[in-house]
Amino acid sequence: MTAPHIPVLLDEAIAALAVVPGALIVDATFGAGGYTRRLLEAGATVHAFDRDPDAIDAARRNPGIWPETGENPPRLVLHPRRFSEMVAALADMGIVRVDGIVMDIGVSSMQLDQPERGFAFASDGPLDMRMAQDGPTAADFVNEAAESDIADVLFRYGEERQSRRVARHIVAARPLTTTGALAGVIRKALGHRPGAPKDPATRSFQAIRIHVNAELEELEQALAAAELLLRSGGRLAAVSFHSLEDRIVKQFLREASGASAATASRHLPEMPREEPVTFAAVSRAIRPSEAEIARNPRSRSATLRFATRTDAPSRRRLAA
């Protein structure tokens, strides 16, 4: 039995949504349901998504813990799907507008702490890393991709400065089938001082996980979906766990709120803005308190940003 997931920035994320009883809220990343629980307590109806079938099954197996799934109509609807599909999933149920959307991007403690899911380098398990438990695994990628593609992934998604060196060692050590073997190869490539504060495999594991799950593309699509689905005055709250994700959220909100156009250049004549301003009241970056980090060290790299949807039309349509 693994330790349950401790929700990160919970009070802040829920406050950002300004939930009133009867509100319709999407929890894009159900996980262990920490956010959903609070939303239900505030009187919301929640449509919760998770691409990991284990997360949804755990809730379905426990109707005693989630009685709202059995209410008529249900106040909790579980969707075992990717959050990039939320527009279509909700449309199937006749829902085209919602009052709030929260996303708590990344992996859950349940995923990280189960060696058989293959996310962790601290314990040995099959080289898997798939949140949705389907499609190509991390092993498929490291064993089949070209060395240059592996290097690109490590550089782009792990900001690994020695990406070429690591990729060369990975290719030389193929086939790799376990997390322990991959971590060993990376440590050997980069030189690992036992007791060093950060394991050198951290960056590469993050990179491969992001690639296997197309995490950044998913995030971009979820933000676009939020723009389509939120009613005027509706709230978006996004918690991210590393700088690549936070950059995407920050850039999206800058563009959506017109901030990037206003600051584009002081030296060029002002251009009329072509795109509507779809979000306003964009928050600053909110980070966990010292007390939260002490209580839950996994929260230390989290960042929350939130904003309010305006009444302007959405800037883009989602690809069908």
Ligand X SMILES: C[S@@+](CC[C@H](N)C(=O)[O-])C[C@H]1O[C@@H](n2cnc3c(N)ncnc32)[C@H](O)[C@@H]1O
Q: And the tokens for 276?
A: 């509507």
CB 59 within 8 Å of CB 80: no
Q: Among residues 45, 108, 257, 303, which is the contact residue for ligand X, using CB under 6 A?
A: 108
Number of residues that bind ligand X (CB under 6 A): 21
Peptide bond into 313 cis (omega under 30): no
Q: Rule CB under 6 A: which of 35-94 touch ligand X?
A: 35, 49-52, 55, 82-84
Q: Rule CB under 6 A: which of 251-290 touch ligand X?
A: none
Q: Rule CB under 6 A: which of 191-220 touch ligand X?
A: 218
Distance of CA 120 to CAs 52, 108, 129, 163, Å? 16, 12, 9, 20
- The residue (of 49 and 157) whose beta carbon lies closer to ligand X is 49
For residue 311, the minimal CB distance to ligand X (Å) is: 28
Q: Rule CB under 6 A: which of 127-186 touch ligand X?
A: 131
- The residue (of 32 and 186) whose beta carbon lies closer to ligand X is 32
DSSP string, 100-158: EEEEE-S--HHHHH-GGG---SSS--BS---SSS-S--HHHHHHHS-HHHHHHHHHHHH
**106 in contact with ligand X (CB under 6 A):** yes
Q: And the tokens for 252?
A: 């999206």
The region of 18-26, 32-40, 91-99, 308-316 touching ligand X under the rule CB under 6 A is 32-40
SS3 76: strand
Rg of the chain in Å (alpha carbons): 21
**32 in contact with ligand X (CB under 6 A):** yes
**34 in contact with ligand X (CB under 6 A):** yes
Residues of the shown chain interacting with ligand X in the complex, contacts defined by CB under 6 A? 5, 7, 29, 31-35, 49-52, 55, 82-84, 104, 106, 108, 131, 218
